Amino acid sequence: MQLIRGLHNLEPFKAALQNGCVLTIGNFDGVHLGHRQVLQEVIRQAQAKALPSVVMLFEPLPTEFFNPAAAPVRLMNLREKLQAFAQTHIDYVVCIRFDAAFAALTAEEFVERILCRSLRVKHLVVGDDFHFGAKRQGNYAFLQQQGALKGFSVSERPTFAVEDSRVSSTRIREALAKPDLAEAESLLGHAFTFSGRVIHGQKLGRKLGFRTLNLNPKRLQMPVSGVFAVTVDGLADRPWPGVANIGVRPTVNGHRPSIEVHLFDWSEEVYGRHVDVSLRHFIRAEMKFDGLEALKAQIAEDAAEARAYFGLAGA
């Protein structure tokens, strides 16, 4: 999978795309089971037509551009999405900056400039609720009409359901807010996982007797909060168990989202490493304690519960 940042960077890929491509467009927040159905269809069509498979997505997300205060919390940042696409057979991801000029494109201009002129689309795969263009003028029927005129075909993927309900990013956010990790996993196809770089923190965990990895998840909000039993990938030859606090750390007057992971039976320094953290078991909601001693006692209880969940002996 190769990333193309903006249509202005298509030139190096012109030869690969000269005969056209099979394209899908969307936010792909979470790259959940419904998204994966769309991606599988794109890959199938691309292989059948001997063309590259391409995903188009946007930064910021359209909802974040139009109404940032009301935009839903992301399930994935851009890096995490690209990691997910890299695990498929998608050839290219085109990331377009969603700004005022792009938002102003009419549906007709979008088809002519973006789909036909820039990407030479031969087949387009969209979800059954897909809209595009200024004031969301464009839809599946419009694309079919335009495709007949301009020489590309269109197919839509019907809603993908789990337990008779549509799989969607919204439904996953609602599951994580409960938090119902089992439901989220059934919709994602895997445990909810986020990535981040290990950074230097306040070293408070050391004072409390629980060294932690402080992570920068590259987002202003997390879709979940509380204390969890977790596994961490990217440090060893197997997922490493631990306990994580996700929240704002009210006991020490925190305000910005913070992620601290205490790895069991681990002593190596790993500053600067990128890791993937998977939520395995919910322990409790985040809460404020009357001082550090009370916090220390609760952390010990949390760690004991997480160890018991993984079947590990006590520290």
Task: Give the number of other Cβ atoms within 10 Å of residue 151's Cβ.
Answer: 12
Q: Whole-prediction pTM value?
A: 0.91
Task: Give the number of other Cβ atoms within 10 Å of residue 145's Cβ.
Answer: 12
d(CA 181, CA 278): 10
Nearest to 156 by CA among 122, 119, 129, 135: 129
d(CA 285, CA 283): 7
Given a contact cutoff of 8 angstroms between Cβ atoms, the answer to whether 26 and 35 are in contact is: yes
pLDDT at 205: 54
138 — phi, psi (to 5°)?
A: -85, 145
pLDDT at 202: 62
pLDDT at 240: 97
pLDDT at 135: 87
Architecture, CATH, for domain 192-310: Beta Barrel (2.40)
Report residues of the chain scoring pLDDT below 50: 250-253
d(CA 145, CA 228): 50
pLDDT at 251: 46
Taken as a whole, the chain contains a residue count of 315
Nearest to 33 by CA among 187, 176, 192: 187
pLDDT at 127: 82
Q: Which CATH code for domain 2-162?
A: 3.40.50.620
pLDDT at 100: 95
Give the residue extent of every domain in the chain: 2-162, 192-310
pLDDT at 289: 77
